[in-house]
């Protein structure tokens, strides 16, 4: 029997290592797609406001930095837009690299961006050059986030910009194409 002991010990050790490696792989393979309706903000500051009644958006509502006349004259880099914003408190389920997307509608080349910041950090600009249609636009900078509650701030930059949904995902290969269902279990009220 003693001749089988080393074999059994090795087999048990191999089984244990296999279980640990599979568990780690499964934990790393969990992909989160956290979707927040833009109108479900934690706080909002004028001139950012909620607009209702649009059948082209999820839930029929979105937030916007309203178009002003004369257009494109209110951008002030020192103030970052006109100071309006919406914040969102979101529970991140696992530590990792997260990509941000916004489902947005731009007025034109002078109304095609928002600022986005996380946990009071430096804002990045989210923009592109597709106008007057609802489309997902990806933030250029990914964020390294710990598990727990984080505050995301969508801030006015140029008038005429609208936001329907925000997507926070650790799946770097995922590209949204249409409105998505909100994952309200991740919202912190």
Q: What is the 3-state secondary structure (H, E, C) of 59-85?
A: HHEEEEECCCCCCCCCCCCCCCCCCCE
Domain with 12, as residue range(s), is 1-30
Say yes or no to pLDDT of 50 above 80. Answer: yes
The angle subtended at Cα 171 by Cα 170 and Cα 174, nearest 5°, is 140
Same domain, 52 and 79: yes
Do 67 and 103 lie in one domain? The reply is yes
Q: Looking at the structure, tell me whether residues 15 and 101 fall in a common domain.
A: no
Q: How many CA atoms lie within 13 A of 11 on its CB side?
A: 5
Confidence at residue 82, expressed as pLDDT on a 0 to 100 scale:
83
Q: What's the average model confidence in pLDDT over 72-77?
A: 59
**Residue 165 pLDDT grade (very low, low, confident, very high; cuts 50, 70, 90):** very high
The CATH number of residue 124's host domain is: 2.60.120.260
Examine the domain organization and report whether 25 and 35 are in the same domain. Answer: no
pLDDT at 17 over 90: no
Over range 22-30, report the average pLDDT.
61
CA 153 to chain CA mean position, Å: 10
pLDDT at 66: 92
Lowest mean pLDDT among 5-9, 32-36, 170-174: 5-9
- Owner of token pair 């607009």: 51
Same domain (yes/no): 8, 81 = no
The structural domain count of the chain equals: 2
Q: Are 23 and 76 found together in one domain?
A: no
Whether residues 104 and 164 fall in one domain = yes
Indicate if 6 and 39 belong to the same structural domain: no
Q: What is the mean pLDDT of residues 18-35?
A: 72
pLDDT exceeds cutoff 90 at 25: no
């Amino acid at each position: 029997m003693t001749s089988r002991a080393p074999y059994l010990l090795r087999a048990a050790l191999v089984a244990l290592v296999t279980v640990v490696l599979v568990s780690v792989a499964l934990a790393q393979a969990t992909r989160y797609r956290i979707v927040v309706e833009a109108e479900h903000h934690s706080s909002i500051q004028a001139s950012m406001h909620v607009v209702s009644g649009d059948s082209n958006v999820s839930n029929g509502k979105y937030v916007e930095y309203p178009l002003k006349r004369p257009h494109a004259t209110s951008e002030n880099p020192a103030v970052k837009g006109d100071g309006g914003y919406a914040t969102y408190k979101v529970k991140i389920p696992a530590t990792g690299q997260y990509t941000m997307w916004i489902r947005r509608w731009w007025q034109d080349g002078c109304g095609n961006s928002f600022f986005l910041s996380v946990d009071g950090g430096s804002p990045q600009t989210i923009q592109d050059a597709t106008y007057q249609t609802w489309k997902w636009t990806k933030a250029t900078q990914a964020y390294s986030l710990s598990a727990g509650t984080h505050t995301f701030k969508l801030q006015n930059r140029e008038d005429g910009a609208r936001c329907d949904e925000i997507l926070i995902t650790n799946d770097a290969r995922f590209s949204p194409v249409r409105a998505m269902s909100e994952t309200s279990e991740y919202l912190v009220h």
